[in-house]
Amino acid sequence: MLNIKELRKKQDITQKELAEKLGIERSKISQWETGYCLPKVTELPKIAKALNCNLSDFFD
């Protein structure tokens, strides 16, 4: 399971701030964090960079 919410909170940034870094709507971040949908695999490196983490940090 992706730990986007935990990683985002460790960076002390809001969903809005993360969305702005990624150039997407805030609602998409919320959907990822609640498990409603998941980011595309191709988006993961960009998300990791925005959260200052490694791809392996996303997974339990």
Model-level pTM?
Answer: 0.89
pLDDT at 7: 93
pLDDT at 31: 96
CATH architecture, range 4-58: Orthogonal Bundle (1.10)
Angstrom distance (rounded) from CA 32 to CA 54: 17
Angstrom distance (rounded) from CA 13 to CA 37: 21
pLDDT at 60: 62
pLDDT band at residue 40 using 50, 70 and 90 as cut-offs: very high
pLDDT at 21: 96
pLDDT at 11: 93
Q: What is the pLDDT of residues 11-32, one digit of tens each?
A: 999 999 999 999 999 999 999 9
**In the chain, what are the domain boundaries?**
4-58
